[in-house]
Structure 1
């Protein structure tokens, strides 16, 4: 009776050792293979972290299988783990959402450090993309950290992934001015500017007859990296050229009309002083 018990214990111990060895080796090989596959499309730090998480998961599964082989009842442990997993899942839902969104943003390369973007009306340059958030420097120099879930769920404008960008101005002239003359002045400024692209061609047209003047819309395309400098330069040169041409830029004004003629009387009162 003793020999079968000893033989059974020995076989069980050897099985547990074999499970542990095979599980740890398999977890290590999966970690190495996964890291080599992910490093081609993801940053090194992110690929390393994902491979490490997979290694820990496989190691935990190996330990559970070994404990089950040893005859330990895992029912209570499974129930406690399931309950704890539900509680932790609800508590970490925002963090997990940002985590998986960060992985998606990095893998899809929707953003890259140094690019000019706009998120929720905020423009800035991307400084860093982590698993949880994206850090940008706004145009006024402030450092902003935006959760990746907010970046993913909002309208994202990336200005740096296209070689050219459009600038649009609105030039207003008085009704008494010659619109064709203003058109020629504006076209001359655009043709002389070195960074205004010929293709796509600039557009100059009357867009609205406003209450105070005639609105002329100006659209030009410029290199993306020079967008800000060209915007400031063109505004200054257009204002200068229009003023030198003697074209009036109107201001808001209101004409008041009366139904019946008004009579304006002026009365003079002689003041005398007694001496």
Structure 2
């Protein structure tokens, strides 16, 4: 029995405008697609571990899915000629659909791109205290389209990422240390040097007052009713608010205990008494008014009669 010399990989499965498709082409298509799926999953796992400590899960997962499915779609379109299909039709349809969707959702696309930039540039992180476009509070989440901020009074504000990325961002805890400042006015009769010494002693007792940059206490201005003393102190960003409120009250009590009072606005009024000016004659004024009224009454009576 004689078997025909036929190579399995050369068998013609079907014919398209691109040529004849054989089992070899079909196997290549399946192998390349399978390897792409495996490689994309490995890269996704690696990126998920790398972004775990940088972005939240709600932010990282959409990015990973976008990269995963986007890479598979590109590979799928690239190997379509192996099975006799022309990818130009898919590219044309996808381009038209992309243009239509782009015009229909410009703001969404802008927020999406801005969200990606925020995630990679990382000017803010979840948990930071920020002020963005007049809204101050804690960053609770950074999403693909928007950023959520919980204000200090408990309100949840949603800001579009395009607005967040294109406006000024003040990150209150972005730097590890922060400076705060007081301006305290004392009376002119009090000793300014003694007040400065007392304030410096209180600063030295604060464990979180930084020595570098060093604190500074000095007379800054001679006001209308007080000598103004400026106090500038650097503290760790996590301790500065508590230290600021505590130290201000301690300064007030210490100054008062040592006879130095916090000045308040004062005005001196000078009243000039002109003794030559005589008081008006009340009786003459009353008599003149009475005569004027009588004339008016007589005139009305004459008119009526």
Settle same-fold status: TM greater than 0.5.
yes
Please give the TM-score of this superposition, normalised by the length of structure 1.
0.76
Choose the corresponding residue for 1:29, options 27, 38, 48: 38
Answer with 194-203 or 77-86: which moved more: 77-86
Paired residues, what number?
A: 263
Asked if the contact 1:212–1:250 (Cα under 8 Å) also holds between the matched residues in 2, the reply is yes
- Give 1:145 shift: 2.3
Alignment-derived partner of residue 182 in structure 2: 169
Pair 1:178-2:191 in alignment: yes
CA–CA separation in structure 2 for the residues paired with 1:123 and 1:95: 24
CA–CA separation in structure 2 for the residues paired with 1:143 and 1:201: 38
Alignment-derived partner of residue 149 in structure 1: 162
Q: Summarize the Cα distance change of 1:71–1:106 in structure 2 as closer, same or farther, 3 Å threshold.
A: closer
Pair 1:222-2:235 in alignment: yes
Answer with 234-243 or 28-37: which moved more: 28-37
Alignment-derived partner of residue 47 in structure 2: 38
Q: Summarize the Cα distance change of 1:194–1:65 in structure 2 as closer, same or farther, 3 Å threshold.
A: closer
Q: Summarize the Cα distance change of 1:23–1:68 in structure 2 as closer, same or farther, 3 Å threshold.
A: closer
Unaligned runs of 5+ in 1: 1-5
Pair 1:136-2:145 in alignment: no
- Give 1:31 shift: 1.7
Q: Summarize the Cα distance change of 1:162–1:58 in structure 2 as closer, same or farther, 3 Å threshold.
A: closer
CA–CA separation in structure 2 for the residues paired with 1:106 and 1:266: 84
Pair 1:113-2:130 in alignment: no
Q: What is the RMSD computed on CA atoms of the aligned residues?
A: 3.6
Q: Summarize the Cα distance change of 1:90–1:242 in structure 2 as closer, same or farther, 3 Å threshold.
A: farther
Pair 1:263-2:274 in alignment: yes
Q: Summarize the Cα distance change of 1:269–1:95 in structure 2 as closer, same or farther, 3 Å threshold.
A: same
Residues 229-244 of structure 1: matches in 2 within 5 Å?
Answer: 229-244=242-257
Unaligned runs of 5+ in 2: 1-10, 284-305
Q: Summarize the Cα distance change of 1:220–1:59 in structure 2 as closer, same or farther, 3 Å threshold.
A: closer
Asked if the contact 1:196–1:221 (Cα under 8 Å) also holds between the matched residues in 2, the reply is yes
Asked if the contact 1:102–1:132 (Cα under 8 Å) also holds between the matched residues in 2, the reply is yes
Please give the TM-score of this superposition, normalised by the length of structure 2.
0.69
Asked which structure has the greater CA Rg, the reply is 2
Secondary structure, counterpart of 2:50 in structure 1: coil
